[in-house]
Structure 1
Amino acid sequence: MFSPTVRHSVLTILLVVALVGFGYYALQPVREACVLTSEPYGSTFDPSSIKASGTGGCGEERTRLMTWFKG
């Protein structure tokens, strides 16, 4: 059995690693998704849903965290 001090240190390290990992994931730049619809025989790409962009992507590039807030 580990002492309470060792357990506290290990849990603190795990919490910091988890927060850093989540922060890294949330701050990755992503483009707003092009619409990918699900049909009975698989997924299909709907070209009419593409938003015009200067970079040729499907939408504005922003962080994943901002896409969660803006929907």
Structure 2
Amino acid sequence: MIGDIFILLALIAGGVGLYLSVRREIRDDRRRRESARPQHGVEGGGCVAGLLAVIAGALVLIALAALLWPVFWLV
């Protein structure tokens, strides 16, 4: 039961991390489009944010699979 709570917390934290990372990437993309001159270092930040979003998404999927695993045994 306590393990399920930790899995649920990990799922929520992963979802929030994914949301914040994607929101930041969208904001940075808008700034890049509005800017007339290229800015150095922005592309690297976008890559890091994208990588963090992928990692957060993977953690969400792992937590969701661990949470739903007992349901598959019932079927």
**Bin for the TM-score computed over the shorter chain:** 0.3 to 0.5
Please report the TM-score for the alignment, with normalisation by the length of structure 2.
0.41
Bigger Rg over Cα:
1
Which structure exhibits the higher relative contact order, with contacts defined as CA atoms closer than 8 Å and separated by 6 or more residues? 2
- Greater per-residue helix proportion: 2
- Greater per-residue strand proportion: 1
